[in-house]
Amino acid sequence: MNFRSVHAEEYVVQRSPFVLGLAAVFAGMAALLIGGAAVSGQPFALVVAVPLGLTSYFMYYHGSGKLAEAVYQRQQGRRRDDFEARSRGGFGAGPRSRGRARTRAEREARARFGVGADSRARRGGARSRPPRPEQGPSRAEARKVLGVSTDADSAEIKRAYREKVKEVHPDRGGDEETFKRVTAAYERLSD
């Protein structure tokens, strides 16, 4: 194998000098045969030179790591396509868009039963539900979580957030819920 996995999206291609050297030998032999066929007029030398040339090309493609790269990219594309097919429900059946109605019958049904964007427009643009209350902690709670004063500037808030994240990040042995609270507090104060 010409590559080793470093990360899910990154890999390092390792060239094979031995295979590249063999490719160069085969390419040289093919070039000599083609030159000899041109000088002597022997078509048999061309018949032998073509397979040698193809062999040298494929050995170069493999030895340079381009073959491993192409296989890896193809495999990643298949994984992505498989994931998208599963998330759509298979057989290309995706969720219907919740935007505009596609047919006249859908528009009439939405207008009649008061569903969707078309009916809201006919009612004068009124919202069908009240706006959401604000999510997350209040500004006072956010200051308490980060440990900053009421007159802290954005640089001090950012510094306090970074220090707090170092303590509570789940990758460093912290708690995930605490990490989420610290992040929500920073988002509230950075508004």
- Among the candidates 53, 68, 87, a domain finishes at 87
pLDDT at residue 3 in the model = 46
Q: Is residue 77 part of a domain?
A: yes
Residue of 28, 15, 87 whose CA lies nearest to 56: 28
Q: Give, to the nearest 10 degrees, the angle between helix 66-88 and helix 43-63.
A: 60
Domain range for 17: 3-87
90: tokens are 């298979």
For the chain, 191 residues long, give each residue's pLDDT as a single digit of tens: 444 444 444 455 567 888 888 888 989 988 998 888 889 888 888 888 888 888 888 888 888 888 878 877 787 777 666 666 555 554 555 555 556 667 788 778 777 777 654 444 555 544 444 444 467 788 889 999 999 988 888 899 999 999 999 888 888 888 888 999 999 999 888 87
Evaluate whether residue 92 is within a structural domain: no
Spatial neighbors of 52 by CB under 8 A, at least 6 apart, are: 26, 27, 29, 30, 33
Q: How many domains, the chain?
A: 3
Same domain, 102 and 27: no
Tell me if 56 sits within 8 A of 63, measured CB to CB.
no
119 and 70 belong to one structural domain: no
Write down the pLDDT at residue 91: 56
Q: Do 13 and 53 share a domain, yes or no?
A: yes
pLDDT at 86: 57
